[in-house]
Structure 1
Amino acid sequence: MNEQVARDVVLVRAIETMDRKHEILSDDDRMYASRSARELAEWQASDSKSAVTIDHFLQQRSEQILKRLSERMPALRAFLRRGVGSTSLSAGLPLLALLFGAGVDRISDPHRVDLLSAPLLAIIGWNLLVYLVLLAWLFVPASNTGWASAGIVRHLAAGALPRKLPSTLTAALVEFMAEWSRLCGKLTQLRLSRTLHLAAALFAVGAVLSLVARGFLTQYVAGWESTFLDAAQVHTALSVLFAPAAWLFQLPGFSAADIEALRFTQAASQALTQAVSPPSAAGGKRWVLLYTATMLLLVVLPRLVLAAVAHWRARRIAANFPLDLEQPYFRQLRGKMGGPAGVLRVLPYSFTLDEARDRGLASVAAMLLGEQAQVMLRPSSGYGDEPVDALGGAALIDPAISLTAVLFNLAATPENENHGAFLEHLLRASPRGVAVLIDESSLLERLAAQAGGRSRVDERIALWQQFCAHHRATAMIVNLLEPQARPLDQGAA
């Protein structure tokens, strides 16, 4: 699916997940959207003579839900109409850069070409430094958003939060904006890079155009002056700077004597003592051409190439947005479109389930994978057993399994050498990840009649959550005797 469809799907998921009491979307709304989406997806598939895909179903369903919500809540309409990407920044920043570049060379004398022009040398030097930083950045491990801050990525990706909405919908939009900025962080960074590269190129173009355009109306006098540099040093520096452009475009060179003759103080002294005219404008054209060719070669062309590469990469991601459709929320919807029932594989650790808790596990599977979900309960692993021996050779990579979950008992105290070793083995051996379910029912039964029992349960929950976070996993607390007492978020796993 493309970026716009993925954005709508993620937004609908946030709304449905946060709307636990069905205040925004009733059961009828959800059933109607699913039924209409299934029919439209089937019609679309038959028209194109292809199979019904989850992408088509999710697209149609999200369109149905968002259309209905926008009709009920006008304040949401503007947020939904906001397109993906930031077109105002993408177009406005390069245009401003072009205008600023056109005025940068007017800082100096408009009637002369300064061989050591600070604005032009600064443009070239800054861009060369940027190229070095970009080259070094290739060898630095990238973070989630790269060089751009999380706040900038969030604003560019999700925009501003609309007002005058129900509290539940506002919470859902906050959740969506955080999730969407995470999902499209790489795409936003590429678009921002494209804009900055294009702006840098147009800034240099503006400076060059201004320099050349004024040459048609003004007679330039070429020269230089410096307190610390002599003619030989200036000749060496300019020879290195202009060498690529002079070689590529076959422009005439210059000698150290030419540089010495163009010193403004030297020319002025000769004019006073020898009664000769000040430096002529004959050489002005040559230096304008050298600076123009150098700017095009070292700034404009590389920046345009970098902008084109970023644009191409961004278009690839936007056309085929990487949205994980194996999450429990999408597994539930796959069942509503007539897809295969999800399978929850449960690996208990030092925990034997009775009949009542086994039924509760089926309810948990329905929360995660839909009403038709099935449970594959593996034999319990013994306390202290080696993870490989405890699993009995079970293949953790199985395409028929929708979700693998390890089940712990909240009554147990987590230990790194036992529970932690088992969890770490599962995480390493399961590329798709492992859900962590922690049943509180046994501990609640034991402490229900004791004073302060609830606080002790909360302390144990906090301990397990900290333990799982240390092992880069998320603890989901369940109650297998009363599953509805701990409703799971559909996207939690």
Structure 2
Amino acid sequence: MHERALRTVLLIQAIEETDQDGDVLPMADRVQATRAIEEDSPLGDSSSPVDAQVQAPLSSADEWFLTRRAEALLANLRTRSPGVDHVLAVAGGATWLDRAMLAVAFAVGVVLATLDGDRRINILGLPLIGLIAWNVFAYVALISATLHVHPERVRPRRWRGSLYARWVRARIEALVGHSTRFNAPLAPGLRRFAADWWDIAQPLFMVRARRLLHFAAACVALGLIAGFCVRGFVLRYPAGWHSTFLGPESAHASLIALYGPASALSGIAIPSAQEIAALRWTSPTGGAEAGEWVRLMAWTAMLYIVVPRLLAALASTLELWRLSRRLTIPAALCGYMGVLLVRAHAETT
């Protein structure tokens, strides 16, 4: 069953089983939805196999029946309690945490571009080099974890997904508390739904958290690029370098190692060692126009950080797509389906 359909079914199941008096979902609406969907259901009119289907795993016809019925009841519920759509969206991971984290990551990148603290752009500065080193370390760790997965090492890596899942559940609990003040009979069903979905959606939360971190890392790099562009093209700060350990020759070699791939892709040539010596802050020229160096920095950040992170986010999205279609259906749904079929059978006899 698809993730979105399973969320809807679990929500309706939770409400029906906690709303015994029909205050939230009237009994007449439930019966009408069952009859309307049963007429078009692939289950057909077989009344004898009802007991067998109670114990059997859900078939595609059973899933179709539950999904269509839940969607019909959700449409009725939406007119009385519009907030249920927000609950379903939050359960699916649509929270402001994602957008806020990406905005903060971009701002962090902009701040990193100004860490040298003066009105110059250091082409051998730590912000870009440190960010690349951190991301390369993350790539190595990610590849190593993918190739060498040991059961005893899986649990420590789940903290990201656990934090994300706790955030989603906290948001649902906040919505439950809000609904208690306006629609008290609905609150137990929402609370039950949050608990049921928490148990099922842990793999989804882990992948969503991983994808969010990839997007956040890309946003940090984009913020760094934006900061350098503002300083180089808008504020017209000069570019140069200073080091107590490197001379012009070693600085030139370091720049080739750092910006070489970006230079090859962009066609922007790296100056010679003599020209690099003239870019030293202590030289008579004291730097040069930053335009070409800012472009090289942007290409380098895109090459080492943004593109790999977006590819990793794409891989996580594909994994999320796969998982969303292979979620484990809780055993309680089989019993729930059996009760619905028994009731439908009783009403037609």
TM-score (norm. length: structure 1): 0.54
Q: Distance in 2 between matches of 1:99 and 1:41?
A: 53
Q: Structure 1's 127 and 144: CA in aligned 2 closer, same or farther, altered over 3 A?
A: closer
Count of paired positions? 318
User: Counterpart of 1:296?
Assistant: 302
Shift of 1:31: 4.6
In structure 2, relative to structure 1, the CA distance for the partners of 1:297 and 1:55 (3 Å cut) is: same
Relative distance call for 1:285 and 1:81 in structure 2 (3 A) is closer
Give the % identical residues: 29
1:183 to 183, 191, 200: 200
- Larger relative contact order, structure 1 or 2 (CA cutoff 8 Å, min sep 6): 2
Q: Does structure 1 residue 55 correspond to structure 2 residue 72? A: no
Deviation for aligned residue 1:108: 3.0
Could you say which structure has the higher helix fraction?
2
Change (3 A) 1:182 1:301: same
Give the alignment's Cα RMSD to 1 decimal.
3.9
Separation in 2 of the partners of 1:175 and 1:183?
Answer: 13
Give the AA of the match of 1:120. Answer: L
Distance 1:87 1:335, change over 3 A: closer
Of residues 147, 150, 153 in structure 1, which corresponds to 2:165? Answer: 153
Q: Which residue of 2 aligns with 1:108?
A: 116
Name the amino acid aligned to 1:124. I
- Which residue pairs with 1:78 in the alignment? 83
TM-superposed CA distance for 1:184, in Å, is 1.7
Kept in 1: contact 2:105–2:217 (CA 8 A)? yes
Structure 1 residue 298 displacement after superposition: 0.4
Residue segments in structure 1 that go unaligned for 5+ positions in a row: 45-50, 268-276, 342-369, 371-493
Runs of 4+ aligned structure 1 residues displaced above 6 Å come to 19-29, 165-168
The structure where strand makes up a greater share of residues is 1
Matched, 1:94 2:98: no
In 2, the alpha carbon distance for the partners of 1:328 and 1:278 equals 76
Cα distance between partner residues in 2 of 1:57 and 1:310? 31
Any conservation in 2 of the 1:6–1:321 contact (CA below 8 Å)? no
Distance 1:52 1:187, change over 3 A: closer
Alignment of 1:75-474 (within 5 A): 77-82=82-87, 83=89, 84-108=92-116, 111-138=119-146, 139-140=148-149, 141=151, 142-143=154-155, 146-156=158-168, 159-161=171-173, 162-163=176-177, 164=180, 170-265=187-282, 267=283, 277-281=284-288, 284-318=290-324, 320-324=325-329, 327=331, 329-331=333-335, 333-334=337-338, 336-337=340-341
Displacement of 1:221 in angstroms is 2.9
Deviations 1:396-435 (A, max 9, x none): xxxxxxxxxxxxxxxxxxxxxxxxxxxxxxxxxxxxxxxx
Query: Once the 2 structures are TM-superposed, how far is the Cα of residue 143 of structure 1 from its aligned partner?
Result: 4.0
* Deviation of 1:42 (Å): 5.9
Q: Which amino acid aligns with 1:102?
A: V
Gaps of 5+ in 2: 45-58
Cα distance between partner residues in 2 of 1:111 and 1:143? 46
Query: In the alignment, is the contact (CA less than 8 A) between 1:38 and 1:337 conserved in 2?
Result: no
Structure 1 residue identity aligned to 2:138: V
Shift of 1:288: 2.4
Please say which structure displays the higher CA radius of gyration.
Answer: 1
Cα distance between partner residues in 1 of 2:237 and 2:23: 73
How far 1:13 sits from its partner (Å)? 3.2
Q: Does the CA-based 8 Å contact 1:102-1:208 persist in structure 2?
A: yes
Q: How far apart, in 1, do the equivalents of 2:305 and 2:118 lie?
A: 23
